[in-house]
C-alpha cells in the first residue's frame, strides 16, 4: 500500500492512504468491493497546541458526496488518524481527506482546565465569550430541532447572573457535545486531492473455486478388450453438466475450466509430457488450435456451443459462476499461424519459435509476439473475450499473464470494464513479486500466490501479513493444488496434510481454490522432487470415482463442504484486511483471527502445520484485536465439530493431525 507523502496547506496533512502508486502520485485506483470496509488513514497536525481533527469525504461515480466520515485518532503521539468508509455500488469512486482546526475541542480543554485551576468569571470573561460565539456558529450547523440547545448554551455562557459552573454546564452537556462531533465547527480546512477507488462486485474478493477438466468427467472404459491402448472415452459437456451437482454440494461458488478449445495435432504431447503421441492421445488443452478452430471454438469431442451454454446455465442455477481459462498462445496448427504469422516470433532459419522455460520445452505451443501488430492482435483478443462473455462466462483465469506486456493487460481489462464491469480476471502468475504486484495494480481482480510453497508456521505468518498489507490493490486466491503444482508437503504428508492445507487456504484467504482430485488425496508425483502429477491430467484423461470414495470414507469432500459452509455463514472469513496473528509457544502451531468490522463476527483459527505428529501449545490472544477487554473470559465454539470451550487470554490446545488438525472457533456473543 502506498501513501501520499504530503499535502501543502495551512495544516499538516501527510501520509494519506490507501494510494496505489508512487509517494507523490496515485497512479492506479485503490481497490475494494461493494460493502467492503475500506480503511483510510492520514497524519494530521499543526503548530502549537490547538486541537485538530480530520474527515474522509467519499464520492460516488457521479462525483457526488456519498459519505463524510469523521476520523478518529490512533496511537497517542503518532498524529495518525483513521476512518472506514464503504461503497454501495460498483464503479469509479474517489476519496479525499480534510484536516481542520477544531475550535470547540480547543475551547473545551482550555475552559475546563482553567476552571479546575480555580479561575473565576473575571479571569474567564474572554473564554466565555469565545465559547458563546462558537456555539452561535454551531447552532447554524445543527438540524433545526437541535439548534435551540446550542443557542441556549451560548446564552448561558453570556449570563453573568450565573456562576461559572452553571454558565458552562450547557456547553459541556454530553448530548450537545455529541451533536457538535457530528456537525463540527471547522476552521482552517486543508483538503487533499481526490484519490481514486475502484469498486468491484463482491465475487472479486470472496469465493470458493473448484477446477476440473470436462474431458475427464464421464471418461470410462470403452468396453473393448481388444483395444487396451485407448481404454477411455472422452468426456463431454453433458457429462460435466451432470457433475455440477457434486461440485455444488460441496459449496463451491466458481467452477473453473481449463481451455475447452480444439487441441493442436502438430507436435501433440503424449502421456506425462512425452514427445511422441499416439493417435488416441488427447494432448494438452493449452496447445490451443487446430483445423477445427482456435480460441473462439469448442473442442468437437466436448460438444457444441449450445451444450456449453447449457452447462453455464446449470451452473448458474446451482449458484455457481463459470470461469474459463484465457491462454494467449497457439498450437502450430492454430488458424492464427497461417492467417497472422506476424503474431509470432520467427527464428533466423524461418521457423516459428515454440515455448520454452529452460529446461522445459513446449514444442506443441507457439508464444504470441505482441510487438509486430499490436493493433490487430489487441482487437482479436478483445473479440475473443467478448465472444465468451456472450456465452455466459463471467470470470477469466489468465494463463501466464507475466509473459505478456503489462500495458496490454491494462488496456484489455480496461476495455472489458467499460462494457462488462461484472467480468473478473484472475492472474495465474507464479513469478517475481514485482511483476505479480504490478499485474494487480493495472487491473487484475485476483492473483494466484505463493501459498502453495508456504508450509511452515513462520512462512505462513509472514506471507499472510504481506498480503494484508497489499490489500488495497491485490486480492489473493489460495489454490491448495493445481494441475501443475503438487507440493512435496502433499506428496509425503498423508491425508492430514490435505486437511491442514484446506483449513489454512479456506480461512487465511477470502478466496480459495481446489483442483479436482485433491479431495481424493491424489499425491503421486512424476518423480521424486517433481511437482508434476504422475499421469498428469494435462496430457491424458483421468477418470475418478468421486461417489465411491465418499461412500467408503476415502474422500475429503465432507471437510471441504463444511469449510465452505463456515465461510458462507461468517463474514469474518469473507474479508482480507482485518487479520491478527496471535502468539503461540510452539513453532508448529499457527494461530490467527479475523474480525468483520461491520458485524463484529470474529473467528479464531488454530492449526498445526505438522501432519505427522500431535502437538500441544498455549495460545496467548491479543484480546483488544478481538474487540474484547484484557480480563475477558468467553465461550468459543469449534465450527468443525460443534465443541465449546471457555477461553481467556491464555489457552491450552492439543492438536492431533489424524483426528483434529485445527480449531475454527467462533467467538460467542458475550
Residues that are catalytic = 399, 428
C-alpha cell at 68: 463524510
- Tell me which residue has cell 456562576: 163
Question: Partners of 607 in the beta sheet?
Answer: 590, 662
Q: 341 — phi, psi (to 5°)? A: -60, -20
* Cell numbers standing for residue 424: 473478473
CA-CA distances (angstroms) from residue 451 to 456, 501, 657?
Answer: 11, 10, 20
Q: Which grid coordinates are listed for 663?
A: 480449531
First to last CA, the chain: 35
- Tell me the C-alpha distance between 473 and 101, whole Å: 32
Quickly list DSSP for 606-617.
EEES-SSS-EEE
From residue 394, give the alpha-carbon distance in Å to each of 213, 272, 423, 447, 575: 18, 32, 5, 16, 21
The CA distance from 469 to 453, in Å, is 20
One DSSP character per residue, 365-397 reads -EEPPSSS-HHHHHHHHHHHHHHHHHTT--EEE
139-152 b/e with 16+ CB inside 10 Å = b? Answer: bebbeeebeebbbb
Instruction: Name which of 606, 627, 614, 621 is nearest 659 in CA terms.
Output: 614
Classify 181 as helix, strand or coil.
helix
β-pairing, 446-448 with 511-515? unpaired
Q: Give buried/exposed letters for 407-431 (b at 16+ CB in 10 A, else e).
A: ebbbbbbebbbeeeeebbbbbbbbe
Rounded CA gap, 120 and 128, in Å? 11
Q: Angle at which helices 174-182 and 147-157 pack, to 10 degrees?
A: 120
209 DSSP β-pair partners: 254, 513
Cell 461493494 sits on residue:
34
Task: Give the integer Cα–Cα distance in Å for 490 and 130.
Answer: 72
CA–CA gap between residue 340 and residue 601 (Å, rounded)? 55
6 grid coordinates: 504530503
Q: Are 397 and 324 in contact (CB under 8 A)?
A: yes
Measuring CA to CA, which residue among 569, 476, 564, 487 is closest to residue 522?
487
What are the grid coordinates assigned to 202, written together? 463482491
- Residue 533: name the closest of 522, 543, 521, 541 by CA: 522
Distance from C-alpha of 386 to C-alpha of 423, rounded to nearest angstrom: 10
| Burial class of residue 247 in the structure, from the number of CB atoms within 10 Å of its CB (0-12 exposed, 13-18 middle, 19+ buried) | buried
What is residue 661's DSSP assignment?
-
The string over 322-352, giving b where at least 16 C-beta atoms fall within 10 Å of a residue's C-beta and e elsewhere, is bbbbbbbbbbbbbbbbeebeebbeeeeeeeb
Amino acid at each position: 500500500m502506498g501513501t501520499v507523502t504530503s499535502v501543502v496547506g495551512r495544516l499538516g496533512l501527510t501520509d494519506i492512504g490507501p494510494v496505489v502508486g508512487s509517494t507523490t502520485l496515485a497512479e492506479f485506483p485503490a481497490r475494494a468491493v461493494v460493502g467492503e470496509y475500506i480503511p483510510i488513514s492520514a497524519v494530521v497536525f499543526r503548530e502549537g497546541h490547538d486541537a485538530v481533527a480530520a474527515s474522509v469525504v467519499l464520492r460516488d461515480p457521479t462525483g457526488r458526496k456519498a459519505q463524510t466520515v469523521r476520523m478518529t485518532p490512533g496511537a497517542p503521539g503518532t498524529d495518525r488518524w483513521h476512518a472506514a468508509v464503504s461503497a454501495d455500488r460498483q464503479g469509479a469512486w474517489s476519496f479525499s481527506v480534510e484536516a481542520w482546526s477544531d475550535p470547540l475541542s480547543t475551547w473545551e480543554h482550555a475552559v475546563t482546565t482553567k476552571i479546575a485551576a480555580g479561575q473565576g468569571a473575571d479571569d474567564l470573561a474572554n473564554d466565555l465569550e469565545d465559547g458563546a460565539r462558537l456555539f452561535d456558529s454551531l447552532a447554524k450547523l445543527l438540524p433545526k430541532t437541535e439548534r435551540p440547545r446550542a443557542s441556549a448554551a451560548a446564552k448561558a455562557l453570556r449570563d453573568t447572573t450565573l456562576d461559572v459552573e452553571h454558565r458552562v454546564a450547557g456547553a459541556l452537556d454530553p448530548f450537545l457535545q455529541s451533536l457538535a462531533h457530528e456537525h463540527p465547527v471547522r476552521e482552517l480546512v486543508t483538503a487533499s486531492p481526490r484519490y481514486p477507488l475502484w469498486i468491484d462486485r463482491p465475487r472479486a474478493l470472496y469465493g470458493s473455486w473448484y477446477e476440473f477438466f470436462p474431458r475427464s468427467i464421464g471418461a470410462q472404459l470403452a468396453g473393448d478388450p481388444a483395444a487396451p491402448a485407448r481404454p477411455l472415452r472422452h468426456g463431454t459437456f453433458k457429462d460435466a453438466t451432470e457433475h455440477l451437482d457434486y461440485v455444488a454440494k460441496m459449496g463451491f461458488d466458481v467452477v473453473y475450466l481449463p481451455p475447452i478449445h480444439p487441441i493442436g495435432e502438430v507436435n501433440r504431447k503424449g502421456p506425462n509430457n512425452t514427445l511422441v503421441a499416439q493417435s488416441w492421445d488427447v494432448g494438452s488443452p493449452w496447445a490451443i488450435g487446430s483445423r477445427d478452430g482456435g480460441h473462439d471454438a469448442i473442442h468437437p469431442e466436448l460438444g457444441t456451443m449450445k451444450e456449453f451454454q447449457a452447462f453455464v446455465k446449470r451452473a448458474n442455477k446451482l449458484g455457481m459462476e463459470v470461469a474459463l481459462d484465457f491462454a494467449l498462445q497457439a498450437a502450430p496448427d492454430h488458424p492464427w499461424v497461417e492467417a497472422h504469422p506476424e503474431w509470432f516470433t520467427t527464428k533466423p532459419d524461418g521457423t516459428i519459435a515454440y515455448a520454452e522455460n529452460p529446461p522445459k520445452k513446449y514444442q506443441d505451443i507457439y508464444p504470441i509476439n505482441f510487438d509486430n501488430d499490436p493493433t490487430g492482435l489487441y482487437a482479436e483478443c478483445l473479440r475473443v473475450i467478448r465472444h465468451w462473455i456472450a456465452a455466459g462466462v463471467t470470470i477469466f483465469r489468465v494463463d501466464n499473464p507475466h509473459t505478456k506486456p503489462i500495458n496490454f493487460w491494462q488496456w484489455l481489462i480496461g476495455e472489458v470494464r467499460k462494457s462488462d464491469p461484472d467480468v473478473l480476471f484472475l492472474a495465474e502468475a507464479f513469478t517475481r513479486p514485482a511483476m505479480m504486484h504490478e499485474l494487480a495494480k493495472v487491473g487484475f481482480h485476483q492473483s494466484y500466490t505463493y501459498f502453495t510453497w508456504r508450509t511452515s508456521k513462520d512462512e505462513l505468518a509472514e506471507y499472510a501479513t504481506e498480503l494484508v498489507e497489499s490489500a488495497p490493490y491485490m486480492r489473493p486466491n489460495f489454490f491448495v493444488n493445481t494441475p501443475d503444482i503438487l507440493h512435496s508437503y502433499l506428496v509425503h504428508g498423508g491425508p492430514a496434510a490435505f486437511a491442514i492445507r484446506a483449513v489454512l487456504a479456506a480461512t487465511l484467504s477470502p478466496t480459495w481454490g481446489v483442483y479436482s482430485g485433491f479431495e481424493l488425496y491424489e499425491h503421486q508425483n512424476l518423480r521424486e522432487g517433481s511437482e508434476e502429477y504422475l499421469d498428469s491430467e494435462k496430457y491424458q484423461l483421468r477418470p475418478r470415482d468421486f461417489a465411491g470414495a465418499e461412500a467408503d470414507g476415502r474422500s475429503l469432500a465432507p471437510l471441504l463442504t463444511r469449510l465452505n459452509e463456515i465461510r458462507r455463514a461468517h463474514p469474518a472469513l469473507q474479508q482480507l484486511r482485518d487479520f491478527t496473528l496471535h502468539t503461540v509457544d510452539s513453532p508448529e502451531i499457527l494461530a490467527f483471527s479475523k474480525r468483520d468490522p461491520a458485524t463484529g463476527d470474529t473467528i479464531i483459527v488454530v492449526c498445526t502445520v505438522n501432519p505427522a505428529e500431535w502437538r500441544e501449545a498455549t495460545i496467548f490472544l491479543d484480546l483488544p484485536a478481538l474487540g474484547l477487554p484484557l480480563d475477558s473470559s468467553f465461550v468459543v465454539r469449534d465450527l468443525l465439530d460443534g465443541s465449546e470451550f471457555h477461553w481467556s487470554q491464555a489457552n491450552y490446545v492439543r492438536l492431533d493431525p489424524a483426528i483434529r488438525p485445527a480449531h475454527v472457533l467462533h467467538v460467542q456473543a458475550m
